[in-house]
Structure 1
Amino acid sequence: MDEEKRITLRLPADLHAWLAGEAKSARRSLNSEIIHRLEVERDAALSGGESP
């Protein structure tokens, strides 16, 4: 990443819990999990593919 931006993100509690569980399973931080998922979706959108 060339530059990082800090944001405040509000999530429903159930979505937060699910993401935290997914992050733990993947041995990533919650922040890294969110970035990973956004990058996967971005790459799919740019390549014209569908979401996984």
Structure 2
Amino acid sequence: MTKHVNLRLPDDVHAMAVTAAAADDRSLNSWLISVVRRAIDSGGTPDRPGGAPATPAPLRRSGHSPRP
């Protein structure tokens, strides 16, 4: 079973991901799945090696995260 997820990437990140996927002879979707799996399996994230938890962003009055 799979889940559909909408992911918004900045143009520059999208271009780099497309290039990396092509270099790995994968579709962008397949490449993104492999990157997420590696991050999960390693117990960390690219920004937080070792799995240090992120500090949640404060919520706006709308109840949504202030992140774009």
Q: Same fold judged by TM-score > 0.5?
A: yes
Aligned to 1:34: 32
Q: TM-score, normalised by structure 2?
A: 0.63
In the TM superposition, residue 34 of structure 1 has moved relative to its aligned partner by: 0.4
Report which structure shows greater RCO (CA 8 Å, sep ≥6): 1
Structure 2 gap ranges (5+): 51-68
Task: Indicate the percent of aligned positions where both proteins have the same amino acid.
Answer: 35
Residue from 23, 26, 29 that aligns with 1:25: 23
Structure 1 gap ranges (5+): none
Looking at structure 2, the residues matched to 42 and 27 of structure 1 have their Cα atoms a distance apart, in angstroms, of 22
Looking at structure 1, the residues matched to 36 and 25 of structure 2 have their Cα atoms a distance apart, in angstroms, of 17
In the TM superposition, residue 7 of structure 1 has moved relative to its aligned partner by: 1.1
Looking at structure 2, the residues matched to 28 and 13 of structure 1 have their Cα atoms a distance apart, in angstroms, of 19
Q: TM-score, normalised by structure 1?
A: 0.81
Aligned alpha-carbon RMSD (Å): 2.0
Number of matched pairs: 47
Q: Which has the higher helix share?
A: 1
